[in-house]
Amino acid sequence: MAQVLLFHHAHGVTSGVRDFAEMLRRAGHTVHVPDLYDGQVFDDLEEGVGYAEKMGFGTIIERGVAAAEGLPGGLVYAGFSLGVLPAQKLAQTRAGAIGALLFHACVPFSEFGAAWPRGVRVQIHGMDRDEFFAGEGDLDAARSLVETTTEAELFLYPGDRHLFADSSLPSYDKDAAEVLTQRVLDFLDNVE
C-alpha cells in the first residue's frame, strides 16, 4: 500500500480534506495531512487565498517541504489546488518520490526542474471550464506535462467547479468526485 503526503487547498484543512484522507486510509494507504495554515480554516475561498498570499507562496512551499522531513522517500505527493505547489515540488525534487496526484491545479514543470523525473507517475484532475484550472494556465501546464512524459495522465471532468472533490464545500460535485476517487485508488494500488 502507498504512503501519501496530502496537502490542503486555500480553505485550509477542511472536513472534506480530512474525509478524503480517511477514505484513502480505509483503502489501506497511509496518509499524512500536514496543516500549512497553523489551524486556520476559511469558509470563503478568497479569504483563504488572501491568507496564502499574505503568508507568501514560497512559505507555503517551504512548509510543505518541511512536512516531508522525517518521512520515508517512497511517497506519493498529493495536493488540492494551492497544495499542488508543495506536492509538485516534492514529486519533482525529493529523492525516492514514486507518484503525484494533482487536484484542480498544475504548475509548469519547469518551475521545479528541467524535466519531469523518470519513474514518477502523475495524475492531474480538473474541470474543463474551471476558471482557475482552465482559465489561469493550469490546464495548459497539465497538457504540456502530458506531452512531455509518458508518466503523466490528465483527467478532465465536465463542469466549472474548482474544488469539486472536497465534500465539505459548495463546489463539491459528487459524480465527478466519485470518478476521481476511483482513479486515485487505482493509481495508488499500482504505484511502486
Question: Would you say residue 134 has pLDDT above 80?
Answer: yes
Apex CA 37: angle with CA 60 and CA 91, to 5°? 40
In CATH, the number for domain 3-189 is 3.40.50.1820
Give the cell for residue 170. Answer: 459548495
Q: What's the pLDDT band for 58 if we cut at 50, 70, 90?
A: very high
Is-above-0.85 flag for pTM? yes
Q: Give the pLDDT confidence of 94-116 residue by residue, as tens digits.
A: 999 999 999 999 999 999 987 89
Q: What's the whole-number average pLDDT of the chain?
A: 96
Distance between CA atoms of residues 42 and 48, nearest Å: 5
Domain locations in the chain as residue ranges: 3-189
Distance between CA atoms of residues 39 and 53, nearest Å: 16
Distance between CA atoms of residues 175 and 164, nearest Å: 9
Residue of 32, 47, 75 lying closest to 89 (CA atoms): 75
